Amino acid sequence: MTAAATGRAAAAPAAADAPAPAKQVDVHTDGACLGNPGPGGWAALLRYRGRERELAGGEPLTTNNRMELMAAIVALETLSEACDVTLHTDSQYVRQGITEWLPNWLRRNWKTAGGAPVKNRDLWERLHAASARHRIRWRWVKGHSGDPDNERVDQLARTQAIKFKETTRA
């Protein structure tokens, strides 16, 4: 029985030169700051086919929003090829910024609706560039709500912030 006879659509034949499906990568990110501004840390967990890679870093004087952005930036920049990414963040600033606000900022030459310069423009530009080659689903997860991967990157980010706090005292 043909597809037409059953009422189902026939599958299109695969093109010989069709690109292979992109790698599916699951990413969890978080940023932390001890004081705002203050010493901060960021962390990302990348998961692909059961393998995991942790990334973490920080700065001696920064803000929580900059650390949230850095976590997403470094995670995406680390991927060596175009991927299908599901990026989990507890930062509405990052999720809304990249999915809702960025197109308007670009149209207004990096100005907010009120005409003020966009804060953290350097990092937004970097995140925009890092996002361009990937297909990304931005997922918000409630922070400190028991999500094991969010708790894990939160702890890694806090550890980095503490490390930078201790080095600034020395």
Q: Is 90 annotated as a binding residue?
A: yes
Q: Which of 30, 57, 59, 97 is catalytic?
A: 30
Clarify whether 40 is annotated catalytic.
no
Q: Which of 31, 38, 57, 97 is catalytic?
A: 31
The whole-angstrom separation of Cα 141 and Cα 158 is 18
151: alpha, beta or left? (left if phi > 0; alpha if psi -120 to 50): alpha
Residue 17 annotated in active site: no
- Residue 88 appears among annotated catalytic residues: no
**Would the annotation count 154 as a binding residue?**
yes
Residue 81 is assigned to a ligand binding site: no
Active site residue 41: no
Q: State the sign of the Cα–Cα–Cα–Cα dihedral 96, 97, 103, 104.
A: positive
Euclidean distance between CA atoms 169 and 46, whole angstroms: 32
CA dist list (Å): 85 to 43, 63, 169: 16, 26, 39
Among 17, 50, 114, 144, the active-site one is 144
The catalytically annotated residue of 28, 38, 58, 68 is 68
8 Å CB contact between 87 and 138: yes
Amino acid identity, position 150 = N
> Is 154 an active-site residue?
yes
Is 30 tagged catalytic? yes
- Which strand ranges, in their side-by-side order, compose the sheet holding 51-62? 51-62, 38-48, 23-33, 83-89, 135-140
Cite the active site residues: 30-31, 68, 90, 144, 154
Annotated binding site: 30, 68, 90, 154
Annotated binding site for Mg(2+): 30, 68, 90, 154
